[in-house]
Structures are given as C-alpha cells and as structure tokens.
A and B are shown apart, each in its own frame.
Chain A
C-alpha cells in the first residue's frame, strides 16, 4: 500500500471586500475517484479567509457584520482568526461535509481580483 499526492490550483474570481465564493463544488471535483484521503485547501492571500459556513445570503451578511463589529479591535487578525486553510476528509470519492456546510472563500481585502486556492490531497494508492 502506498500513498499518492494530488495537487490542484483553483482560481476564484472575487469582487473585493465582502465577496463570498462557495468553492465546495471545485473541491468536490478534486476529490473524485479518491477512495480515502485527506484534503488541505489553502488560500495564500493575506487578506482573505477560507471557512466552513452555510452559504446563505443572510448568514454571509452576518459574518461580515461579525468581522466589522465584533472583530473591530483586531481587524488585521481577522484572516488568521477565521483561518486561511482547512483540512477535510475524503471518503469514497467525496469530501465529507454536513448538508448545510460549505467551504467558502471570504474576501477581506479591498480590490476585485482573481485568487488561487491551493488544494493538496494525500490519498491511498
């Protein structure tokens, strides 16, 4: 039994501050065909976060409000506190998440741009 490595770079278009992009479908595609493994997804921008959250408009607005009002005193730390990387289980060709749980890119920067999400998978060959 050996372990394999699979690496992907996902490009995400963002409209700048407050943009939230559901990247779950792209991550699911990366996991196709892998029976068991671990996926790490990472965004390299210093002013962005990668989180798990229900992708629902009201809740995404709540997260924005939370960052603006409750993290006001430490806004510079917001990407670090929310987190820029996630580890996800892969079982039978799919990443495992709850029904209402998505992986979402959150932009905390100020300009529209295209960013990369680096996906690294360790799997059983």
Chain B
C-alpha cells in the first residue's frame, strides 16, 4: 500500500461551462502505476464544482439546472459572485472514487469540473491523492 500525490491545472472559461477532466485523471493513474485503491480528486477554490455525470447530462446542466439550482440574481449579500460560491458549496469541490485495474470505476460517467465564474482563461488547480496498490 502506498500514497501518490498528483496535481494539474486546466484553463477554463465561464460561467456555466463544464470541463471533462477524466483524461487528466487517467494519465495520473497510469503514471502512478495504480492498480486498485481509492482516488481523491479535489479542486482548489470556492467558486467551482466537481461532478460525476454521464456526457448527455452536460447540456441540460449547463443550460437549465445550474440556473435553477442557484439563481444569479437573488439579492445575495456577497458582492458579485455569491451564486458561484453557493453552487460550489452545494455541489462540492472533491470526489473520491474507487480504482480497479488502474481505472476509476465510472461506468458511463465522466468527471467534470464546472466553472461557475464569469471569466476567460481562468486557471484551475486540482490535487489528486491515490491510496492503494
């Protein structure tokens, strides 16, 4: 048993954009020679979210569900981007998944980062912690 740490950065734009980070995670697992265990994926910051969803959910989430989850304008007290913070808090910024045969057990799902912020070319930093064989 051992622990391997990894990190990577992606450039995002937003708001309401989903970025598939499954490939970055798979390449970390192969570099780490992971076989079976547990992987924590954690994104730094308080305005993004991590979700595990099938690809066909991307559009409904982007176009409708995020707006319905936390509206942008609701006389929030926190200036400017309260909606992005609240989405981040509700959806979460970390996911822990089982690893089998060197791969995350995802079925048809993929791991997406949601950029809630209204930005261009924003850098988002992820940490990975693998515990296993």
Interface on A for B, CB 8 Å cutoff?
1-3, 36-38, 51-54, 56-59, 61-63, 65-66, 70, 81-83, 86-91, 96-102, 122-124
Contacts and interface: CB of A to CB of B under 8 A. Distances in A.
A63 B93 CA distance: 16
A52 B46 contact: yes
Interface of B: 1-5, 38, 40, 42, 44-46, 70, 74, 76-79, 82, 85-86, 88-90, 92-94, 96, 125, 127-129, 131
A20 B2 CA distance: 36
A52 B82 CA distance: 14
A96 B131 contact: no
Interface residues of chain B: helix, strand, loop or mixed (majority) = mixed
Interface residues of chain A: helix, strand, loop or mixed (majority) = mixed
B3 A82 contact: no
Contact of A91 (B45, B86, B127): B127
A91 B131 CA distance: 13
Given A1-B2, A2-B1, A124-B3, A56 B78 contact: yes
A63 B83 CA distance: 10
A54 B79 contact: no
Given A37-B3, A91-B5, A96-B44, A52 B93 contact: yes
